Amino acid sequence: MVHIGNWDNKTITVSQKNNCVTISIETAKETQVFSFDKAGRLWTALLKKISYRRGLNGNVVAKWNSDRDILHRKWLNEQEKSNLLSKAHSTIQMIVDSLLVKDYFLPPLTTKTVSELMHLAKVGVDFYQDDLQDYHSIYKPVGILPPDQYISFVLQLTEGCSFNKCTFCTFYRDRQFRIKQPQEFENHINGVINFIGDGLSLRRTIFLGDANALVVPTNKLIPLIEVIHRHLDVEKLGGLFAFLDGFSGERKNAQDYKNLFQLGLKKIYIGLESGNNQLLKFLNKPGTAKEALNAVRLIKSAGISVGIIILLGAGGKQYQAAHITDTVDIINQMGLDADDLVYFSELIESEGLTYTQNAFNTNLIPLSSAETQLQRKFIEENLIFSERGTPHISTYDIRDFVY
């Protein structure tokens, strides 16, 4: 339900959905927008043409475009986060105060919406402090998610990465890989349900953390997934999603994937990185491109879709040609269709990254930004898909990740 009203030379819109409340305030100079989940947490905002997105972990990323359409990004510091939250909730307080004078909305606000606004107006520093404390008591920091899973309901069935040695990745260096026992996992699920509370309606899918929950042997994995079914309506929440490094640990067979499909597994994200085995070796990525191909075929034959991630710029100029040719070749054999995804993720280097040290040691010449985009273009242009449709092809920028 959308309610629109004019107050103090502002056009105020209250949009009440079953998963969030969005308020926009429009003046001749600016439009401000604030969106909250049903527990009262701010999750997106727009102020002075800067968009903000807040994660459950309290981090807030701000993004804006310059005149030349270049995207800028900044993670807010503590003071900036606090200012944003104050601004959001004091704006709601202003609307609640104005309603004491008269209800100027059309259609008039329902009692339920008024009480929701009053609840949002009351949310303050204490709420967010307690919320963050709860978050850290139930989660190890969520390292990364695919971009289409940022508003999933993450359950850390495992912690860390069973391999943890790829030279370009530091997401899970702070923890040992381990599989949760059923009782511990059940406690974790209950903890996440209590923590997210009414915000559950905003969550679209269930993501099994961390890096490769599907490496868990099937005879241990199925009882853990059954625990999820005892506590959550998996189908209603959009099904189960997970990463798979796929090529270390126990390999799953076609029947394993069929069983997992029956239990609600919808999509598996695979960091292929490249179709070139020499480059995979340079990246210290476990397994070969052929093994990734075999895994994809098994997964898809079970009815589960895949998200394939390609690491753009990896190996610099020395590997450029082979990276393009072999990646195209392997993806074209995967039989991807409209249910699948292909992500292009640019290699992000940083000081201390083993990849950067190895690149330095071997005199690797990095690709410029334009060359990296050209690499994507060459790969994308040569992908051939069947009559079953084209996968959604998109950018995966790990610097945008927020949960």
Residues at the contact surface with ligand SF4, assessed by CB under 6 A: 161, 163-166, 169, 171-172, 211, 245, 271
Provide the minimum distance between the beta carbon of 137 and ligand SF4 in the complex, in angstroms, as a whole number.
24
Nearest alpha carbon to residue 154 among 223, 259, 214, 240:
240
Q: Which is nearer to ligand SF4, 169 or 298 (CB)?
A: 169
Instruction: Give 163-190 as a DSSP string.
Output: S---TT--TTTTS--EEPPHHHHHHHHH
Provide the minimum distance between the beta carbon of 294 and ligand SF4 in the complex, in angstroms, as a whole number.
17
Q: Which is nearer to ligand SF4, 35 or 276 (CB)?
A: 276
Determine how many CB atoms are found less than 10 A away from the CB of residue 365: 12
Provide the minimum distance between the beta carbon of 273 and ligand SF4 in the complex, in angstroms, as a whole number.
8
> In 3-state terms, what secondary structure has residue 390?
coil
d(CA 215, CA 248) in angstroms, rounded, equals 8
Q: Which is nearer to ligand SF4, 167 or 332 (CB)?
A: 167
Provide the minimum distance between the beta carbon of 222 and ligand SF4 in the complex, in angstroms, as a whole number.
23
Provide the minimum distance between the beta carbon of 217 and ligand SF4 in the complex, in angstroms, as a whole number.
17
Q: Which is nearer to ligand SF4, 169 or 228 (CB)?
A: 169
d(CA 394, CA 64) in angstroms, rounded, equals 20
Q: Which is nearer to ligand SF4, 135 or 172 (CB)?
A: 172
In eight-state DSSP terms, residue 232 is S
Residue 269, φ and ψ in degrees, nearest 5: -100, 125
Amino acid at 384: I
Q: Which is nearer to ligand SF4, 175 or 297 (CB)?
A: 175
Instruction: Give 293-311 as a DSSP string.
Output: HHHHHHHHHTT-EEEEEEE
Provide the minimum distance between the beta carbon of 204 and ligand SF4 in the complex, in angstroms, as a whole number.
23
Strands (E), 219-264: 240-244
d(CA 201, CA 204) in angstroms, rounded, equals 8
Q: What would the two tokens of residue 272 be?
A: 């292929």
Q: Which is nearer to ligand SF4, 5 or 271 (CB)?
A: 271
Q: How many residues does the chain have?
A: 403
Provide the minimum distance between the beta carbon of 311 and ligand SF4 in the complex, in angstroms, as a whole number.
9
Q: Which is nearer to ligand SF4, 225 or 347 (CB)?
A: 347
Cα distances from 166 to residues 104, 161, 163, 358, in angstroms, run 58, 10, 8, 12
> What is the Cα gyration radius of the chain?
23
Nearest alpha carbon to residue 364 among 380, 343, 385, 349:
349
Provide the minimum distance between the beta carbon of 245 and ligand SF4 in the complex, in angstroms, as a whole number.
4
> In 3-state terms, what secondary structure has residue 340?
coil
Provide the minimum distance between the beta carbon of 248 and ligand SF4 in the complex, in angstroms, as a whole number.
7
Q: Which is nearer to ligand SF4, 37 or 245 (CB)?
A: 245
